[in-house]
Chain A
Amino acid sequence: MENGKRKLALISSRGTLDWAYPPFILATAAASMDWEVGIFFTFYGLLLLKKDFKATISPGSNPAMPMKMPFGPEGFQNFNWPIPNLIANNIPGFESMATSLMKKTFKNKGVASIEELRDMSIDMNVRMIGCQMTMDVFGFKREEFIEEAEIAGAATYLEFAADANVSLFI
């Protein structure tokens, strides 16, 4: 903790749309409260630093996910569609449909997009560390990631997190 500032250290390990929100929401909220913030993006979380980030959701692996419609009267929008997991898991195109419905619902409700939250994080000097080892394992190139990201390993994150007030694995 430098300059008496509180400090938040996050590990972002998942790259789907739903899991992309928590690290960016917490990071921007903490930065808005004058906290120093750093995020270590590792494994599938590393995808959140890609220039052409396109996150989807996976209803098949989230059986409790509510299925809501982003249009129509309020009662219709609030209805939770009982989609059997057999369908959510096996119908081609279901994931992309569910993804676009969720994005639309979020937009209608006034939730920022992941791209917007990431831009805000950059504006507020959130330190973003992309995992070098993940890059090597999945064969990514440095040019595929935003310039604001620094590429480093576990030791770099741990040094940052060592005196954090709050640290979370997401």
Chain B
Amino acid sequence: MNDLKVVKTLDCSGTLCPIPIVKTKKAITEIEVGEILEMISTDSGAMPDMEAWARQTQHELLESHDEGETFRFLIRKTH
């Protein structure tokens, strides 16, 4: 994720479904098209849910990392 420039980081650590995706949705409205949002979550369900969220909203999930107890996502706003 080195050459990808993150313009905003959203830390959802400590919250459970549906808070991470609700906050991600809000955060994506606060950046410009083409910019990248980083989201950090400790919700064990975050990986499949973020993939579903990205498919449904058609924003681009560039990277997802499972770092043990923490999950890290990079999302590019597409519209």
Chain A contacts to B: CB under 8 angstroms:
6, 25, 28-29, 31-35, 109-112, 117, 120, 124
Contact = CB atoms under 8 A, between A and B. Distances in A.
Q: Quick one: which of B14, B17, B21, B22 has the most chain A CB within 10 A?
A: B22
Given A33-B56, A33-B57, A28 B22 contact: yes
Given A32-B53, A33-B57, A34-B57, A111 B21 contact: no
Interface of B: 14-19, 21-22, 24-25, 42-43, 52-53, 56-57
Interface of B is mostly: helix
B22 A33 contact: no
A109 B52 CA distance: 23
By Cβ-Cβ distance, the 5 closest A-B pairs, closest first, are A33-B56, A32-B25, A29-B18, A110-B15, A32-B21
Q: Quick one: which of A28, A110, A112, A117 has the most chain B CB within 10 A?
A: A110
Nearest to B24: A32
A117 B57 CA distance: 21
B53 to A, nearest CB: 6
Given A33-B53, A34-B56, A34-B57, A112 B24 contact: no
A112 B15 contact: yes
A29 B15 CA distance: 14
B16 A110 contact: yes
B58 to A, nearest CB: 9
14 contacts: A25-B17, A28-B22, A29-B18, A32-B18, A32-B22, A32-B24, A33-B21, A33-B57, A34-B25, A35-B56, A110-B19, A110-B42, A117-B18, A124-B25
A154 B19 CA distance: 31
A27 B9 CA distance: 25
A112 B25 CA distance: 16
B18 A6 contact: no
B22 A120 contact: yes
A33 to B, nearest CB: 4
A28 B25 CA distance: 10
A11 B15 CA distance: 26
Contact of B22 (A29, A35, A111): A29
Contacts of A124: 22, 25
A150 B58 CA distance: 31
